[in-house]
Every structure is written in C-alpha cells, then in structure tokens.
Structure 1
Amino acid sequence: MLASTGELVAERSGVLNLGLEGIMLVGAVAGFSVALHSGSLGLGLLAALLAGAAMALIFAFLVLTLRTNQVATGLALTLFGIGLSAFLGRDLVGQTVTPLPKLSFPVLSDLPFIGPLLFRFDAVVYGSLAVVAIVAWMLARSRLGLQVRAVGEAPHSAHAIGIRVAKLRYASVLFGGAMAGLGGAYLSLALTPMWVEGMTAGRGWIALAQVVFATWKPRGVIWGAYLFGGVTVLQFHGQGLGLAIPSEFLSMLPYLATIVVLVIICRNPQTILLNKPMSLGQNFKPA
C-alpha cells in the first residue's frame, strides 16, 4: 500500500518509475541495518525513508534532468537496487531485530473477532491508511494536488501558466521513493523481521500493478493491497491445512490473482483510461 500510494503520486505527475522493486530492497536493508546497529526501530524507518528517497533522486535526475527513457531507467534502477541491497546486506543475513510492537486499544482490542481483525496492528499499518487518506485529499481538494494533476495531464500547458513542472515532478518522485523505501523496511522490521536477500519477492512489481488496478485513485490502492495480502494469507492457510495442492502453485496464487484482476479491468479501455495521466512516461522539455 505504501509503495503503491507513492507511485500513484509520481504517476499522477506524469512520471513512470519502474524501479520500485530495487528501491524497496534498498529501503529494507537500510532500515534493518540502522535498526540493528542503533537499537531504534524509529531510526530504522527514517533511514529507509531517506534511502528510498535517495534512490528515487537518482532516477529523477536521470529522467527529469538528463531526460533519459523512463522505462529503461526504471528497469536499470531495479537491477541496481537488487545488486546494491545484496552487497550492503551480505553481513546481515541471519541476524534478527525485535519487530515493531503491536498497538493495543482499550476495549476495542479485546472485542471478539473485530478486535484481532482491526485493532491489534503496529503503527505503520495504521499510518499507511492515513497516508492514503492524506494523498486522496491532497489530489482531490488541494491546490498542490491540482497542480500535480495538471502537470501529469498537460505539462506544457501547466508550464505556460507558471507551474514549475520539473520541481513538482521531482517532489512527486522523491515522495514515491520514500514510501517505497518505507514499504521495504516494513518487510525487514515487522513482517519477517530479518534481512533476506531479495525479500521483496516481486512486491515492487505488484505495487506498480496496483496503481493500474486502482485506476490511479488512492482508494483503489487500498482494495488492491488488501486483495493481494488476503490471497497471500490464504496461501499460507492452505499450506497449513495440508491441501493436496503443490506448494509452488499456492505460492503463485497472489501473483496469479493480481494478473487475473488486471486482465478483467483492462478489458474495458474506458475504465483503464478513465484517470490515466495523459503525459505518463513522457519526458518534458520546456519550449
């Protein structure tokens, strides 16, 4: 959800960043390393934010300043992030940290069924929902959101009325990178919690797919994220129940479900193009 929300903002500004997988891995290893050596999970999350933003800054400089191809640059960033995270984490394999603590809400956490389902998670889970809500409000109601959408739809027109296209796109890409880095850190500081090479296991690509699944709307990101997460949990339950289904097939289910949903959505061109930024993936050069 975090990585998809950040990418949604970047894409609404007209920039397609295919480097999320690499950014998430760098965020995961940076957050884990800092948390392990400092003993502070908060510093680990902050380090992941900064590491993700730094990776995004490299991408932004290449595509926004040097005007390289966005698709090729994003793929290169993913490969770079995979290699860099493996190099930085070579001495961290096998070590663990105390996971993010679960929050407890008086009365609510003790409610049957509802309590464990909604009120026993860590702060990052609730924070991710807050991030989606803030981004939704920003894009729909604020002057900044209107400018971001204008830059994504018609950058030359936006430039003509005085909007600083490059500045807004830089900010959007950096925000997307920071959120991807934070999403990666959640894997190594809460979900696992340890560093494993390649631990994102394709989640960066799923985050990209979720933006399309959401038709570039923040609320759709929530449905996509929890659909993928729900199918992932069902996979683990299926393995635990000993179903006579190959474990490899069960491991494929979350990704297969994502593909099926995307195929269904993309069958209707009007649906998929409803909110797609017109200048997505196109470099901007002032006249």
Structure 2
Amino acid sequence: MDVLTIIAIIVQGTLFAAAPLIFTALGGVFSERSGVVNIGLEGLMVVGACTGITVSLLMQETWGAATPWLAVLIAAGIAGLVSLLHALASITLRADQVVSGVVINILAIGATVFAIKKIFDKGQTDSIAIRFDKMDIPVLSDIPVIGEVFFTSIPITSYIAIGLAFVVWYIIYKTPFGLRLRAVGEHPMAADTMGINVTRMRYVAVFISGVLAGVGGAVYAIAIAGSFSVVTITGQGFLALAAMIFGKWHPIGALGAALFFGFAQSLSVTAGTIPGLDAIPQVVLYILPYVLTILALVGFVGRSEAPKALGTPYIKGKR
C-alpha cells in the first residue's frame, strides 16, 4: 500500500466520521452563543438517529433514493421540538441548564427505546437499505493527488457539513441576527435595553441547536450505523460538545476540532487496513477519541473564553 493510498484512507475516514460531529457542534455554537448551556446535544442526537432510521425503514419503499434526505429533515424537526423542552426549562422556568440538559439525555434514551419497541416490537431496528452514497466530485476528483484524497468516495453530507460551518460563521458574525445572538449571550441586559427580545432570541438559538443536533444524529445513523439501538449514539454528542468548547465557541474552530475528533474516531475503523496501525489493539483505538478529548480540553479550555452570560438565566430588570 503506497503513501497516497494510506493518506486517502485516513482523510476519507476522517471526513466520514466528522460530519455528524460538525452538524451537532454547530448547533451547540448557536445555543451557547445565546447564553444557554446545552448538555443535551447527546440526547438530541439520539432523537435524530432514532427518527432518521424509523422514517427510513417505514418509507424507503415509497420514497426510494430520496428517503435519507427526507428522513434527515424530519429528524431535524423532531429534535428541534424536543430541544424546546430544554428551552422551556432553562429560559422560561430558569432551571439549572446543566441539569435540564442531563434530563434531556436521559429522556431521549428512554423515549426512543420505548418507541422502537412499540413500532418494531423489538429493542433495535433492522438495517436500512438506502443510505447516503459515497460519491466522486466531478472535475475536482480528477485533480492529481488532491482529487484522489479529498474528492473521491466521500458522502455528500461531509461536504455539506463543512460548507455549513462557513455559513454559520457568516450568520453569527456578519448578520444582524448574529449580532443580536452574541449580544444576548454576552450582556443580555444591554441587549434588552436596545430592544432585543432576549427570551425569543434564546428560544430560537436552542431550537436551531436541536435541529442541527437532530441532523447530526440522523446522518450518523443513516450514513454510518445503518440501524438504531440504545448504543447507536454513545458519546458522539459529548464529543461534539467538546469540539465546540475546543473550538472556542466559534464555528470554524468547532469545524477544526470536529475534524480532529473525527480523525480519532475513524482510526478505530481504518487502522486495520493501514500498515503499522493494524498492530494496535482495537480497544485502544476505540477509547482514543475520548482520551484525546480529555487531553484537548485539559490543555486548551483554560485559554478559552465562553460567552459571559453563558449558563445565567436572564431576569428582566435584574442585574
């Protein structure tokens, strides 16, 4: 196996594994930039994964090749609605935001397993027949070296996720909506004084975070897992949360961190085909993403500055 082939395997595996993390991390950026901690990203990914697989199994014979795309859209909507429970508890009822997020995680696992049992009469689903196809990008895949590494045999969802990171950057830093979003996360009283509805902005931000986390969960289930059970989403939401923090609550930073964690995740799958890495025990490769997460957070979180009002409920007229 030549060096170019090894690099192509690693890059393709990284982009494949990173896409769900990118979507979910970008969702976390919206929520936390508005001042609402969203520990519930893991649970929202579970909801998205369950919905995506369920819709795919029930509708794949009717919708055909369009099934994965429509399943992701439905999963995004359902996860967005579930995220409003977190918004209600955290923003309106002023509950502890971390506790509310943990409750969302627990609720999501129990509710999805119960739903799967009721719909399919067993604890996990069958595998879906239609997934996101890997594709070669026309013209770009023909570029020597670069084309083979970056534009060959990669799901379109990976390119969409990367492109979305730049769209989110533009929205947050170059639009009036983004300015209001950052204002309510940094100094909600000042934003309120300027006529910005803090509560509405935070609800919108949490809803967007739910939508994107639902997309991340559905993409993971449809493109990678192929089925749903209680162990389909096992820590990916927390990896996305870590990527958001590692990326300093910035969309492009979150993209880079998600690619880094995606690389670590992909090694557990691709290492067996790469000379030198195939001798590493499989269990070491499985825990590698989480070890790297801890090391990254220990080394960099102290240098990161979160939005100043993050985790603080806003009470109108109170400093």
Per the TM superposition, whether the score is higher than 0.5 is yes
Q: Does the alignment pair 1:15 with 2:36?
A: yes
In the alignment, which residue of structure 2 is the partner of 1:285?
315
In structure 1, list runs of 5 or more residues that go unmatched. none
182-191 vs 85-94, greater mean Cα deviation: 85-94
Matches within 5 A, 1:76-91: 76-90=103-117, 91=120
Give the superposition deviation at 1:78.
Answer: 0.4
Measured against aligned partners, the alpha-carbon deviations of 1:111-152 in whole angstroms (never above 9, x if no partner) come to 454234322323322211222111101111111111111100
Residue identity in the other structure for 2:286 = S
Structure 2 match to 1:254: 289
**Where does residue 100 of structure 2 map in the other structure?**
73
Whichever residue aligns with residue 45 of structure 1, its letter is V
Matched-pair contact (CA < 8 Å) for 2:168–2:251: yes
Q: 1:96 aligns with which of 86, 108, 128?
A: 128
Whole-Å separation in 2 of the counterparts to 1:235 and 1:85: 27
1:210 shift after superposition: 1.0
Shift of 1:244: 4.6
* Alignment-derived partner of residue 5 in structure 2: none
Q: Distance in 2 between matches of 1:246 and 1:105?
A: 35
1:200-238 deviations in whole A, cap 9, x for unaligned? 110111111111100111111111111111112223333
C-alpha distance in structure 2 between counterparts of 1:111 and 1:98, whole Å: 30
- Which of 185, 209, 216 is matched with 2:249 structurally? 216
Q: Distance in 2 between matches of 1:195 and 1:113?
A: 37
Distance in 2 (CA, whole Å) between partners of 1:239 and 1:103 is 23
* Contact kept in structure 2, 1:211 and 1:221, CA below 8 Å: yes
Q: Structure 1 vs Structure 2: percent identity of aligned residues? A: 33
Residue 13 of structure 2 aligns with which residue? none
Identify if the C-alpha distance between structure 1 residues 132 and 61 changes in structure 2 by more than 3 Å, giving closer, same or farther. Answer: same
What's the secondary structure of 2:158's corresponding residue?
A: helix
* Cα pair distance change 1:138/1:261, threshold 3 Å: same
What's the CA shift for 1:174? 0.4
Q: How does 1:1-287 map to 2 (within 5 A)?
A: 1-39=22-60, 40-90=67-117, 91=120, 92-120=124-152, 121-240=154-273, 243-266=278-301, 269=302, 271-273=303-305, 276-287=306-317
In structure 2, how many angstroms separate the alpha carbons of the residues matched to 1:170 and 1:116? 43
Cα RMSD over matched residues?
A: 1.7
Amino acid aligned to 2:188? P
Distance (whole Å) between structure 2 residues aligned to residue 131 and residue 106 of structure 1: 20
SS at match of 2:134: coil
- Residues 250 and 103 from structure 1, CA distance in 2 versus in 1: closer, same or farther, beyond 3 angstroms? closer
**Counterpart contact for 2:243–2:261, Cα < 8 Å:** no
Asked if structure 2 preserves the Cα contact closer than 8 Å seen for 1:14 and 1:151, the reply is yes
Distance in 1 (alpha carbons) for counterparts of 2:55 and 2:278 = 40
Compared with structure 1, are the counterparts of its residues 127 and 25 closer, same or farther at alpha carbon in structure 2 (3 Å cutoff)?
A: same
Comparing 75-84 and 228-237, the one that deviates more = 228-237
Alignment coverage as a number of residue pairs: 282
Scaled by the length of structure 2, what TM-score is found?
A: 0.84
Whole-angstrom CA distance in 1 between matches of 2:157 and 2:84:
24
Structure 1 residue identity aligned to 2:82: M
